Amino acid sequence: MTTDLVADTDGRLPRSFERAASSVALAGLAALAVAMGVGRFAFTPILPMMQADAGLSVAAGGWLASANYLGYLAGSVAAIRMRLAPETAIRSGLLGIGIATLGMGFASGIALWIALRALAGIASAWVLIFVSAWCLERLAAARRPVLASTVFAGVGAGIAAAGVVCLVLMQRQLASADAWIVLGTLSLLVTGVIWPVFGSREAGRGAARERGERRRWDGDAVRLILCYGAWGFGYIIPATFLPMLAREVVQDPAVFGWAWPIFGTASVAATFAAAGCSRFVGNRRLWALSHVTMAAGVILPVIWPGILAVMCAAFLVGSTFMVATMTGMQEARNVHGAGAKALMAAMTSAFALGQILGPVLVSSLASRSGGFRSGLVAACALLLMSAYALARPRPAPHGPDER
């Protein structure tokens, strides 16, 4: 199932090509749903549950979040020079996420939880990076932006699904351990379904192509890395604390529990909408616009306190979350072609570093001001500065897929 996708010379797409492209896109969607919706972000909707039934303190929750962030950073840095075949990295990452998530439901004690969340972070980084490179390479010939959007919509779909699962479990007054077990089981089931798509029949060919296409990083590549890191800093604060802000306003889980599903659903819808917009404004301008929109969502709870503002912020941040990921990964491929995996890994490493520094700044500012809102202001400012950097004129593209 890993055959290269090549269109006819006259530009028409045979049915076999269409079926293969659709299979690749759907497998990418499912893989990113597991990697990001569960491996990375399941902790966000489960955090209030663990605080309620496991007595998890804010400090302990910070340690668990930091372990996942550090694992994500370690996995991203390792992927820059990793020689592992993409198919093997994807399969290993998916298995690691399922096992680590399932283990959270059976383990007890902060030390084991920290280790499992770190493992999930490493595995999630591998899946995001290698799935992005693997799918974009195989879908390039189709020249259908909706296929790439389908892949990256998996993140929002996974976030929404994990949020709904936790919402249902909260309403039924089940424990946080049950949520981890359910999500871990679902992750392993999804992995089993898409396992054949990431087959090994041509394992190594993508890695060989990447070595042949590897390019030196220039100033434009560094700009992408820095802006992607700024986005990681700017988004992590609302992504981590929106459910907590909602709970501060409304204690009923039937209300505050919807913050995370709204975030994920908005992300899915915006990802597909962005496919059409990119044809008119280009990937990089769309990426810059997503930073501006996210900045508006970040600052909204500061200037307009209340549950409605939190829900609007969840929509605005969620609607731009995967647009930035998708356009960022596509720009990496535009700049470095088939050898973009290393650049994608470097961008993801910068993102991971930004999301580690974000909560640290929030904790520092919160100790002085007594709340999260000063951190939101800082995130908004950095997002606007990175949007300006992205909007500046860029060099002529080197990749084959600029559209």
268 close to 315: Cβ distance less than 8 angstroms: no
* Residue 102 binned pLDDT confidence (cut-offs 50, 70, 90): very high
8 close to 204: Cβ distance less than 8 angstroms: no
Burial state string for 11-43 with b = 16 or more CB within 10 A and e = fewer than 16: eebeeebeebbebbbbbbbbbbbbbbbbbbbbb
Burial state string for 355-364 with b = 16 or more CB within 10 A and e = fewer than 16: bbebbebbee
Prediction pTM value: 0.81
Mean pLDDT of the chain: 81
Tell me the two tokens of residue 64. Answer: 């668990």
Q: Residue 328: which of 396, 264, 386 has the closest Cα? A: 386
Cα angle 209, 348, 32 (rounded to 5 degrees) comes to 80
Tell me the two tokens of residue 90. Answer: 């994807």
68 close to 123: Cβ distance less than 8 angstroms: no
Residue 396 CB partners (closer than 8 Å, separation 6+):
none
pLDDT digits (tens, 9 = 90+) for 163-186: 888 888 888 888 999 999 999 999
pLDDT digits (tens, 9 = 90+) for 181-207: 999 999 999 999 999 999 744 434 444
160 close to 40: Cβ distance less than 8 angstroms: no
pLDDT digits (tens, 9 = 90+) for 307-354: 777 778 777 877 787 788 888 888 888 887 767 888 999 999 999 999
Angstrom distance (rounded) from CA 384 to CA 396? 24
pLDDT digits (tens, 9 = 90+) for 39-53: 988 898 898 889 888
Maximum CA extent, the chain = 65
Tell me the two tokens of residue 343. Answer: 């650049």
Tell me the two tokens of residue 285. Answer: 């301008």
